[in-house]
Amino acid sequence: MTKPVTIEDLARITGVSPSTVSRVLNGNKGVAADKRALVLEAAEKHHYRPNAVARGLVSGRSMTIGVVVQDIATPFFANMLVGIEQGLDQSGYRSMFASTLWRDNDPNDDHEPFHVLLDRRVDGLIVLAGQASDQFLRDLAEQIPIIIAARKVEGLEDRCISIDNVEGASTITRYLIGLGHKRIAHITGHRNHPDALDRLRGYRLALEEAGIEYDEELVVEGSFHEESGLKGVEQLLTRGVRFSALFAGNDQTAYGAMLALASHNFRIPNDVSVVGFDDVSLSAYTLPPLTTIRQPAVAMGRAAAESMLRLLSGNDPEVPHFQTELIIRKSAAIYH
């Protein structure tokens, strides 16, 4: 473990002052050409690398932006993270992630990931969905530049990047109705998850418009995971309700649902149509490929990063508006 070379070292080697070394290293104007060359050469030769920690302490900027995420391993979030990295690239900023999910026992741990990041003096915070309260996020916004993605926070509208879940859900439900389906089941996300609530609302809205009565026997609670799609279908089947189509709360739920249906010998889409929400990249490869609503995760992540960059340079974040899009593949068909 060799000690990294410092500016002090370089100064000693080249015979100029540390100030001058610092200046040439920072591409600062006004340094004699010969000294500049000297320093640059020495830096190169000794593999000098600036200590970002020290630099951060004096400049007050760590050049890293914190990202709070529920679960890295969820395809949708993973894609947003990719987008964030893309958006930050070339900016000199880097992202640092902090997650919670898998330790959801301790409720006041909800703030723990925020603190790790804040303590490390990140220059800004991008929050992906998550269960921190609106109030907490509002307070945070007083302390540090913040952008929120895949979630809407009252009072922070100009910092939120999200799609309209009600609209997306009603669009895909309408699509099923247009295919002739009347008995449409729905497996929701977590009971209190805002997205889950909005999607349920969109589903009901579309039914209402079409004059189809809402039947609570047709909806079961899920959790946005594959497992819950599987269980959801089992529940529906146990209840003995008839349905010709199923709107799963998200794509992962749809995967589980399709498996359960197949194992009960229902053919998709001939016997029952299945649709999801999100359009995770895998959904183009399921059997059959999944009809779903696209929520542009990568683009949203990139936009979050870009808005953050704008915020950090003192400008208006200008968060863009994202539209959902109906992606028609093979998992839903005309009712007969």
Partner DNA sequence: CTGAAAGCGCTTACAG
* Closest approach of DNA to the CB of residue 49, in Å: 7
* Residue closer to DNA (CB basis): 54 or 282: 54
| Of the candidate residues 81, 127, 147, 299, the single one contacting a second copy (CB under 8 A) | 81
CA 240 to chain CA centroid, nearest Å: 37
Phi and psi at residue 4, to the nearest 5°: -65, 150
Distance CA 73, CA 71 (A): 5
Indicate whether 316 belongs to the interface with a second copy (CB under 8 A).
no
Q: Three-class SS of residue 277?
A: coil
Indicate whether 53 belongs to the interface with a second copy (CB under 8 A).
yes
The answer to whether residues 143 and 207 touch, using CB atoms and an 8 Å cutoff, is no
* Residue closer to DNA (CB basis): 119 or 316: 119
Q: Is the peptide bond before 288 cis (omega within 30 degrees of 0)?
A: yes
Indicate whether 232 belongs to the interface with a second copy (CB under 8 A).
no
Closest among 206, 208, 202 to 188, alpha carbons compared: 202
Q: Mask 32-71, x = binds DNA (CB under 7 A)?
A: x--x--------------xx--xx-xxxx-----------
| Of the candidate residues 31, 161, 206, 218, the single one contacting DNA (CB under 7 A) | 31
* Closest approach of DNA to the CB of residue 11, in Å: 8
| Sequence-ordered strand ranges (E) for 27-169 | 64-69, 94-99, 124-128, 146-149, 160-161
Token pair in block for residue 97:
């992630």
Residue 73 interacts with, from a second copy, DNA, none (CB under 5-8 Å by kind): a second copy
Binding site for DNA (CB under 7 A): 3, 6-8, 16-20, 22-23, 25-26, 29-32, 35, 50-51, 54-55, 57-60
